[in-house]
Structure formats: C-alpha cells, structure tokens
Amino acid sequence: MKTVIDAHTVSKTFNPNTIPVHAINNVHLHMEQGEFSALVGPSGSGKTTLLNLIGGLDKPDTGNIIIHGIDITKLSPNELIDFRLHNIGFVFQSFNLIPVLTAKENVELIMQLQNRKRADIEKRILSLFKQIGLEDKIDTRPSQLSGGQQQRVAVARALASKPQLVLADEPTANLDSKSAANLLDIMAKLNQEENITFIFSTHDVRVIERARRVITLVDGQIHSDTARVETEPQTTDLATAK
C-alpha cells in the first residue's frame, strides 16, 4: 500500500511563555492510501490540533510530518499553500461556504485557483454535484440550502482538486441523523470507489461506527490505535433454515 502520512515525534505546545498547553505530545502516526479513519477522544485531547498539523494549517514545534513523500514541516508558507491546494481537501464543522457565491461557484473556486481549463472545471463540477446528489441545487446560494446540503457542497469543494487525502473536522456535528447518514454514505462511497483517504476528527458515534480505524487521543498522545477487520456479511441458507 502507498504511504500517505508519516508523522514522527510530533509535538505542539500553545502558550509556551505563560501557562503551556501540550496539545500534541510526541505523536507518531503512519497512514496508508485508502484508509477511513477517525481521531477520537475527549475535548482538549488534541484531535483538531493533530488534524490541523497534518493538513499544514499549523506547524509542529518539533517532529516531521511527511505527506505523499513531502515533508510539509520544511515547506515555506507559500509552498505550503500550494501543497494544500493540490493535495489536501478540507471539510469543516461550520461548512465555511462563501455566502455570496452559489454552490457551484463555491466548489469551482478551488479549481480556478489551480488555473484549470474552463472545460475541465465544468466537467468536474457536473461530476461532483451528481455524486453528492445536488444537481438541482447547483445555482443555489448557501442560505437557501439545508445544513446537510451545505455540508455536501463542502465535501464537493474538498474533492474539487482531486486530492487523495481529505481531512474532516467534526463534519456531522451540526447535522441531523438522516443528513449525517447521507453524508457518511457519500464519503464512504468515495473512499471505496476512488481510494481517497479520509481522516475524521469527531465525537460523533455515527462516524466512529463507520470508521475502519479508530485512533484515540488522550492529553495529546495516542492512547490506542485500533483497526477494524471487515468481514463478509453472513447469509442464511433458506433451504435448511428452520
């Protein structure tokens, strides 16, 4: 399997000159292409901080984070922006859609920043909105969409650049059960069909139950790392069943 993430001795401390908070403490993490994983743990355990470090939204104080063979801790700010643009998709709890843009415009903005050809953008847009089941909402602004629909648009935006790694920070926190299930179905399908690696930071049992690997953080350290073995569903032989 292809390695997506190799993190070594990663630490991050906030407020080092006053009351230091050791958000991440000497973490090692290895992840391969196509994983569907959840970072879990109590509030303040370091889930979001670790996700932000992996995504290059913050830099560790010590250690190295290698994504797709590139040590992102050694990139300049401009190099890091360019790396994120082409390699990592982000899904946030608060959706973070631009309110004055339509759903389509929110999604295509990433591809415009990549200087993609107009024909390629249009083709990708149609494919993405079909995948998330919102072809009829393509020209609708975020305020006219439900929370579940906005989060699906956010997923489409995360996938617009064709990243092989998607980081999702509490993506179901503001969704009802049906919307959360629909969103997880979409992401699980993309994971299986396109081999996209998903990492969730979550408290949501609905996400945890779907994850094939659960990494538990406590006080900034990995407390447990459990991979779930998928088994074939059992079938009943109706001819012999009593």
pLDDT tens string 122-142: 999 999 999 999 999 999 999
Does residue 235 come out as left (phi exceeding 0), alpha (psi in the -120 to 50 range) or beta?
A: beta
Domain that residue 196 falls in:
34-59+76-227
Q: What pLDDT is attached to residue 18? A: 84
Is residue 127 assigned to a domain?
yes
Q: Number of folded domains in the chain?
A: 1
Is residue 17 assigned to a domain?
no
Is residue 25 assigned to a domain?
no
Q: What pLDDT is attached to residue 229? A: 63
Q: What pLDDT is attached to residue 192? A: 92
Is residue 49 assigned to a domain?
yes
- DSSP labels, 64-110: EEEETTEEGGGS-HHHHHHHHHHHEEEE-TT----TTS-HHHHHHHH
Cβ-proximal residues to 113 (8 Å cutoff; 6+ apart), any chain: 85
Is residue 14 assigned to a domain?
no
Q: Which residues of the chain are modeled with pLDDT < 70?
A: 229-242
